[in-house]
Structure 1
Amino acid sequence: MSDLISLKEAAEILGVDILFLTHVIDVGDVLPSLPVPKDFREIVFTTDDIERFRLEVARRRFTNFKADYSDVYQQDERPGARGLEFGPGWEGLLRDYADGLRALNAAGGRSRLGWGKEKFGALHLYSDYLLATESAVINLHREAYRASLQTCQECGAAARLRFGHSVCLTLCDRHKHLVGEPDPARDGIILDVSAWTREHGRIAE
């Protein structure tokens, strides 16, 4: 058993931080071969595990998307630059959005996706585009946003916005544990934070 790899060593091999790796394990779709202990610091990996987790890291970094859509995706490189900061379950929505940009560009537009994030359980994408295509790009943004509130950001299955006491995420039944204990005052009641705050005259933080 001397060839087992510690959590810290695995994170270094995979080029990720420990929090990223423990989140992947917490999601539960890709797990080490040996049982996961209650104390995450005691998690160990085999060399075969490392290869499986390497594939998962690539999926969560949207490696295939970036290669397939290099014509319409150019990562923001300005100060404070950001990337694609959301779960892999939304890759289908991301591809639909990028296909929409491609269609606009084929018709003479010029638009490129720069980055995106999850906020209050919804997908927010940010692009540069010609003013002439502004309304079309905004419609693509709205469709991605709307669809994300019905799609699990971890696996892409049908989902809804779920509220824990400290976080809200759009998740399916299989991944709902990621928000912790549901907050009965909001879970199942607020299904779109932005719409709810507008309706109640509040400002989303």
Structure 2
Amino acid sequence: MSDLMTLREAADVLGVDVVTLVHIVDVGDTIPTPSVPKDFKDIVFAPVDIEPFRAELRRRRFEDFMIEYADVYTEDSGPGARHLEFGPGWTNILREFCDGLREFQNAGYRTRLRWGKEKFGAMRLFYDCSDEIATYIAERKGIAYGKSLRTCQECGEPARLQFGYSICLTLCDRHKHLVGEPDPARDGVILDVDAWSRQQRGDRE
């Protein structure tokens, strides 16, 4: 058993921070060969585990997507740079949005995805585009937003907004443990935080 690696050692081999590695294990789709202890600091990895985790990191970094869509997306760099900051389960939604950008770009319009994030369980995309197509791109952004609220950001399966006491994420039943104990006052009640917020503001006006 001397060939087993600690969590820190595995993170160093993979070139990733410990927090990211723990999150992948917590998700539960890619796990080490040795049984996972309750205390994450006691996790150990076998040498055979490295390649599956390397592949999962590649998926989470959207490396294949960035190669395929280099014409409409270039990763930010430098101080304050933002990236694709959401789970890999939304990759197909991202591809659909960028396919739309590509159509406009091929028609001679300027448009490019800059970065994206998850907020309140929904996909938020940020882009540059010509004024002439701003309305059309905004519509496609709205479509992506709506689809993300029905798609697990971890695996891409059908999902809904899951509300814990301190976090909400759009997850399927298999991954809903990631928000912790559900908040009964909001879980299953609020399915779109933005829409709910607009409704609340309207009720007060």
- Range into which the TM-score falls when normalised by the shorter chain: over 0.9
Specify the alignment match of 1:57 in structure 2.
Answer: 57
Q: Which residue of 1 aligns with 2:136?
A: 136
In 1, the alpha carbon distance for the partners of 2:147 and 2:95 equals 12
Amino acid at match of 2:152: C
- Which deviates further from its counterpart, 9-18 or 191-200? 9-18
TM-score when normalising by structure 1: 0.96
Counterparts of 1:1-205 in structure 2, within 5 Å, are 1-77=1-77, 79-201=79-201
| CA distance in 2 between partners of 1:125 and 1:23 (Å) | 23
Query: SS at 2:201's partner residue?
Result: coil
TM-fit CA distance, 1:3: 0.8
Structure 1 unaligned blocks of 5 or more? none
What is the CA–CA distance in structure 1 between the aligned matches of 2:32 and 2:140, rounded to whole Å?
Answer: 38
Moved over 6 A (4+): none
Partner amino acid for 2:159? Answer: A
SS at match of 1:8: helix
* 2:175 maps to amino acid: H
SS at match of 1:201: helix
User: Offset at 1:76?
Assistant: 2.3
Counterpart-to-counterpart distance in 2, 1:11 and 1:131: 45
Give the counterpart letter for 1:153 in structure 2: Q
Shift of 1:142: 0.3
Task: Count residues in correspondence.
Answer: 202
**Percent identity, aligned pairs only?**
59
**Which has the higher mean CA deviation after the structures are superposed, 119-128 or 75-84?**
75-84
* Separation of aligned partners in 2, 1:96 and 1:126: 15
Report the residue type matching 1:102 in the other structure: R
Q: How many Å separate the matches in 1 of 2:19 and 2:123?
A: 22
Q: Deviations over 1:88-140 (max 9, x none)?
A: 00000000011000011111111111100000000001011111110111011
